[in-house]
Structure 1
Amino acid sequence: MTRILHILDHSLPIHSGYTFRTRAILKAQQAAGMEVRGITGPLYHDGETGTAEHDGLTFHRVPGPVSGPPGIREWRAISTLRQGVERVIADWQPDILHAHSPALCGMAGLRAARAAGLPFVYEIRAFWEDAAVGNLTGREGSVKYRLTRAIENRVVAGADAVFTICEGLRRDLVARGHDADKIALSPNGVDLNLFGEPPPRDETLARELDLGEGPVIGFIGSFYDYEGLDDLIAAMPILRERHPGARLLLVGGGPMEDRLRAQAAASPAHEAILFTGRVPHSEVERYYSLTDVLAYPRKKSRLTDLVTPLKPLEAMAQRRIVAASDVGGHRELIADGRTGVLFAPDDPAACAHALADLIDRRESWDTMRDAGRAHVAARHNWARNVENYRAVYQRLVGDPPENGARRAA
């Protein structure tokens, strides 16, 4: 039985797109007969030490914090994480190290793998220097931006195999000169076992929120600048010219929340824009039940052109209608007019007209829902996608020994 140690930035119990993808991967690999554990670096999980169990998964915690000026702090984090990985290697004897971006995890994993003589797999979910630009915490071309890219290039070059979550990231790596033959895809996916028939509209919650008859346009997620929620708010007065009862339901929070709330308060459609704040993960399904259309108006940038998001897939898995901006990451997921609709990015009027046209075509929604669910089942189902990993693992290690005859520490 192959043992895989996943090297991670953070994990459950933190709730994020990163941790939900991690959970899905590890659960799917368990179901496929692999032994899996995770290890997280010293920048998160304050208060958890040693090992922790969450949702039937084991995570080793590297103690922190690490300190120092920018640059020094990151190298100390790499060194600390590498030491933690080496301790788990000695104790658990994995067959493969599988590190997930950011590059700090990759570099720690690469060094530990080379020291131990283990195969090393690196998986890129996003280029974190571009994510920092999108989050307004970094600047393209800065020293930190270039350093992050340089570290990642070294990790990719040294890895035995590389995965990316989408074609956009893969094409970018190949354009940098990396070997296309060792870069495979592991697209974003969902565990379809978690999504049955969508629940009926939660009328009690609808009355509490005073949503009226709708239609309700929803966004459920984190409020980052690149998500384009300012464009969605700006689209509401235009949308309400054709659909006066339309409401916008914004569920979540994040760095842009205060600015978005101020924009909404100043909008001619302010009475139709509702913020709920963050809600418990166990309650999210109730809010999904209130939405007629899930909107994802991401701004056009390197990040959004190269990276596919998870939320539209989860929405399609729940048979929800999806409208999204026409950026590269969305085009990999959504067939315009068939599994959802696409509209010009950075254009509130285009967003409003696309939403209004979609609402006018309610008779086509069942067909669109069926097509979206079928697309997810065929292309983004973890029960199938896990085979992408298995093929690479087998190439790297062949048939590993059973537990009782593992390599010496």
Structure 2
Amino acid sequence: MRILHILDHSIPLHSGYTFRTRAILEQQRALGWETCHLTSSKHRPGGVLQETVDGFEFHRTPGPLLWQKRLPLVAQWAVVKALERRLDELIPVLRPDILHAHSPALNGLAALRAARRHGLPLVYECRAFWEDAAVDHGTTTEGSLRYRLTRALETYVFRHADAVTTICEGLKADIVARGIPEAKVTVIPNAVDPGRFTFGTEPDPELQRSLGLTGKCVLGFIGSFYAYEGLALAIQALPDLLRHDERVRLLLVGGGPEEAALRAQVEQYGLNGKVVFTGRVPHDQVPRYYDLVDIFVYPRLPMRLTELVTPLKPLEAMARGRLVVASDVGGHRELIRDGETGFLFRAGRAESLVETVIRVLAARDRWPEVLAAGRRFVTEQRTWESSVARYRSVYTPLVQQHG
């Protein structure tokens, strides 16, 4: 079976989107399937039309013309049309058995039109509702014309694709509520490769010393600093935690739109030296930073995006053998059983975060039990091998139906 994946962007860029894609491609090849890969013009402007990255050959799409970029609606339509043209060029050469388009809906629309012209089945994968992410980023508001148009376009793709996949039960429920038959929607959950996450390793003493974390109780976050992650809540909680235990430190690894505001908040609260910003670190160095942390904190704020979408980072922390404290938004509740595989607190409530962390610190005798349960959850229910195997029940009937 040969699958042509149609993507927004890909490696060598680093994001949750590209890491999920890479895991899917690796596991599909392990299943004996052939994969081909095309990114839209949103991958990055300019550059070559074909590129090999880590053994994967990616076909690229030229960007819109300068005058098109100046008109938002025209620019979006130009993305669709350019992707359609590339699909028309590549399908006769690559001869895929199935098209698999991944969010956003612009990719789905281009793939839908190409699939009909070439007589191929189309699977559309929704990884998040991009209109909700745009609300958090401040580029639109819920209920605005842009919001409603984006939602309507994706619903159109859901209805006309041959099958729909998504990453969690929250997104599936919303898709089904739009009138899409439940049998048409398959959850392919986010997962990890446990072999890449050594369980319970000790911190690197040199790295510990360089960051001033030797002998400290380290709360940590590794990822992108978006507003919906709620990192300001963790900083707000820190003074109360320091009054309980002056050894507590907050380690923030990564960067993003909220970094300047978070640094300003640290100054305002007089927490210099208590909050450690590392900036972005090379991907191959991330495991060393996982090992520095005693308790990972994921204080996502309550909103549509976080209620519906499951994150990947808590799974990585559990696989690595680190405790997880997270807000009780829907996306976290799909991953964490409170008091068993991790701990949940009331979303948006700094006092609840403080109470939960203090309770966890006071129950160190239970840490090995919780850590083992978290690792067991990942290895039994959230491996990429088992997750990607679910595509078989999606692809096979469609390929058979289309001959």
TM range (shorter): over 0.9
Tell me what 2:289 maps to: 287
Q: Which amino acid aligns with 1:338?
A: E
Aligned equivalents of 2:177, 2:401: Cα separation in 1: 34
How many angstroms apart in 2 are the aligned matches of 1:51 and 1:318?
36
Equivalent residue in structure 1 for 2:162, among 152, 160, 163 = 160
1:38 and 2:60 are equivalent in the alignment:
no
Query: Is the aligned partner of 1:107 residue 2:109?
Result: yes
User: Unmatched 5+ residue regions in structure 2?
Assistant: none
- In structure 2, the partner of 1:405 is none
Asked if structure 2 preserves the Cα contact closer than 8 Å seen for 1:217 and 1:246, the reply is: yes
Q: Among 229, 241, 259, which residue is 2:231 paired with?
A: 229
Query: Alignment partner of 1:247: what SS?
Result: strand
Post-superposition shift, 1:45? 2.8
Deviation at 1:336, TM superposition (A): 0.4
The answer on whether the counterparts of 1:212 and 1:245 sit within 8 Å (CA) in structure 2 is no
What is the alpha-carbon distance in structure 1 between the residues aligned to residue 275 and residue 252 of structure 2? 8
Q: Which of 267, 283, 287 in structure 2 is aligned with 1:265? A: 267
Say yes or no: does 1:16 pair with 2:15: yes
Gaps of 5+ in 1: 402-409
Aligned to 1:81: 83
Cα 1:309/1:343, change in 2 over 3 Å: same
Aligned to 1:50: 49
Match 1:370 to one of 354, 369, 372: 372
Tell me the secondary structure at the aligned position of residue 335 of structure 1.
coil
User: Is the Cα–Cα contact under 8 Å of residues 99 and 123 in structure 1 kept in the other structure?
Assistant: yes
**What is the match of residue 126 of structure 2?**
124
1:1-400 counterparts in 2 under 5 A? 2-66=1-65, 67-398=69-400
User: What secondary structure, in the 3-state scheme, does the structure 2 residue paired with 1:271 have?
Assistant: coil
**Which residue is equivalent to 1:404?**
none
| Structure 1 position 37, deviation (Å) | 1.6
Q: Residue 192 of structure 1: CA displacement? A: 2.1
Cα contact 2:20–2:190 (8 A) shared by 1? yes
Distance 2:358 2:168 in 1: 30
Check the 8 A contact 1:124/1:163 in 2, yes or no.
yes
- Structure 1 distance, partners of 2:370, 2:47, is 44
How far does residue 400 in structure 1 lie from its aligned partner after superposition?
Answer: 9.4
Matched position secondary structure for 1:338: coil
The residue type paired with residue 50 of structure 2 is: T
Give, in angstroms, the shift of residue 44 of structure 1.
Answer: 2.1
CA RMSD of aligned residues (A): 1.4
Letter of the 1:28 counterpart:
Q
- The 1:400/1:146 distance shift into structure 2, 3 A limit, reads closer
- What secondary structure is seen at the aligned counterpart in 1 of 2:223? strand
Asked if the contact 1:136/1:225 (under 8 Å) is kept, the reply is no
What amino acid sits opposite 1:13 in the alignment?
Answer: P
TM, length-normalised to structure 2: 0.97
The alignment partner of 1:270 has SS state of coil
SS at 1:221 equivalent: strand
d(CA) in 2 for partners of 1:353, 1:62 = 51
Identical-residue share of aligned pairs (%): 51
Aligned-pair CA distance for 1:174: 1.2
Partners of 2:41 and 2:79 within 8 A in 1: yes
Instruction: Tell me if structure 2 keeps the 8 A contact 1:237–1:268.
Output: no
TM-superposition CA deviations, 1:172-229 (whole Å, max 9, x none): 1111111111001101111223223343211101111112312100000000000000
Detail structure 1 runs of 4+ shifted over 4 Å in the superposition.
Answer: none
